[in-house]
Amino acid sequence: MTARSFHPPVRTLMGPGPSDVNPRILEAMSRPTIGHLDPQFVAMMDEMKDLLRYAFQTDYELAMPVSAPGSAGMETCFVNLVEAGDKVVVCQNGVFGGRMKENVERCGATPVMVEDEWGKAVDLDKVNDTLKAHPDAKVLAFVHAETSTGAISDARSLARLAREHGCLSIADTVTSLGGSPLKVSEWGLDAVYSGTQKCLSCTPGLSPVTFSERAIATVKNRSSKVQSWFMDLNLVLGYWGSGAKRAYHHTAPVNALYGLHEALVILQEEGIENAWRRHQRNHQALRAGIEAMGLEFVVDEAQRLPQLNSVSIPEGVDDAAVRGRLLQEYGLEIGAGLGPMAGSIWRIGLMGYASNQKNVLLCLGALDAVLSDMKAPVESGVAVEAAMRLYAQLQ
């Protein structure tokens, strides 16, 4: 075998992530590698912590990226805060609540599940009842923005419920960070993890996290060692913490961190409230087009994420064939359904840099053309115009 350099095609990424990466970020990642203990690198790390605090809207001391994808950020939260024998209330309304349950079990702890229908927000009353019934629960864990369904839950109220019942809260904000209002300190969330490849428009591979002081205290006062050496915050903070001297723990992914730094600079330049508004505006335009075609959203309007649009696949339409044609003929990637929703929904991402008018119009135009050509039961030739009218209204 003789392999050659890999030159990827240029795609438009409108799935559940990775989303289109801002070219500034790609360029930043290609800057010269320097040492992970270089004084200039350490200064960049300090600046990145400030930028992450802005993105998370937090004043917590601990704000840093885990050197691995979002699922390692999730695991970092669980393995540090949960010990064998603990009880954790886990809200599940999609794929990622189920992954949280797996994490709890693998810590030797007991998950108490609060199940909600996929596509619905977490039900606050059920959570309240469960916390009342389990006064010994240590942690309440939930997903702010369910990437598998496109539903947002009320993270502010869930954090309040956790505090009222003496629990720490763990929140998955992988898809919400940078796309939907998230105010970590004001809401009093305790351990929050996210990803870089969604509304931060960065490449995948890192997981920003932030921990409250009481979460840190819990990590420091554990009765057992954290089961993961790589994710043990007691060790990681020797490198990412506030101490003057940075101790080697693992070698930081230097160039990926250049990329995340650039993504956070871009977010700061736009202003986070502006980013939230932009995600709403492009969602409204996409929605106008989708509804004009006669397609239906999976999630009720009040619980709908602007950055992840789950749309029901019309009866008789071949999911894979449509996605295949969008990719082949238009270079456009949209997402398939996950788990029980596979084959019945599409997930259309409008995340970060990808949340723009050009993408909305491409997606509607391509979907319209492919579905019409396949004789799907949709209204043809109206979607793009409906979106344009909406943009004009929002001017």
Selected range binding its own copies among 116-124, 222-230, 309-317, 380-388, rule: CB under 8 A: 222-230
Looking at beta carbons only, is 193 or 276 nearer to its own copies? 193
Within residues 291-320, the interface with its own copies by CB under 8 A covers none
Binding of its own copies by 47 (CB under 8 A): yes
* Smallest distance, its own copies to C-beta of residue 196, A: 9
Binding of its own copies by 255 (CB under 8 A): yes
Instruction: Give the sheet arrangement for strand 139-143, strand by strand.
Output: 62-66, 207-211, 191-193, 168-172, 139-143, 87-92, 110-115
**What is the C-alpha separation between 239 and 64, in angstroms, rounded?**
10
Within residues 223-242, the interface with its own copies by CB under 8 A covers 225-230
Match 């990719």 to its residue by tokens: 327
Alpha carbon separation from 145 to 142, 204, 293, 309 (Å, rounded): 9, 18, 26, 12
* Smallest distance, its own copies to C-beta of residue 149, A: 15
Binding of its own copies by 59 (CB under 8 A): no
* Smallest distance, its own copies to C-beta of residue 225, A: 6
Selected range binding its own copies among 185-193, 211-219, 255-263, 277-285, rule: CB under 8 A: 255-263
Question: Can you name the residues that pair with 165 across neighbouring β-strands?
Answer: none
Give burial (CB, 10 Å; 0-12/13-18/19+) of 251.
exposed
Cβ atoms < 10 Å from Cβ of 336: 17
Within residues 189-208, the interface with its own copies by CB under 8 A covers 195, 197, 203-205
**Side chain identity at residue 333, one-letter code:** E
Give the pairing type, strands 168-172 and 151-152.
Answer: unpaired
56 contacts 192 by C-beta, under 8 angstroms: yes
One residue of 172, 262, 303, 387 binding its own copies per CB under 8 A = 262
Looking at beta carbons only, is 33 or 357 nearer to its own copies? 33
Binding of its own copies by 51 (CB under 8 A): yes
One residue of 89, 140, 143, 256 binding its own copies per CB under 8 A = 256
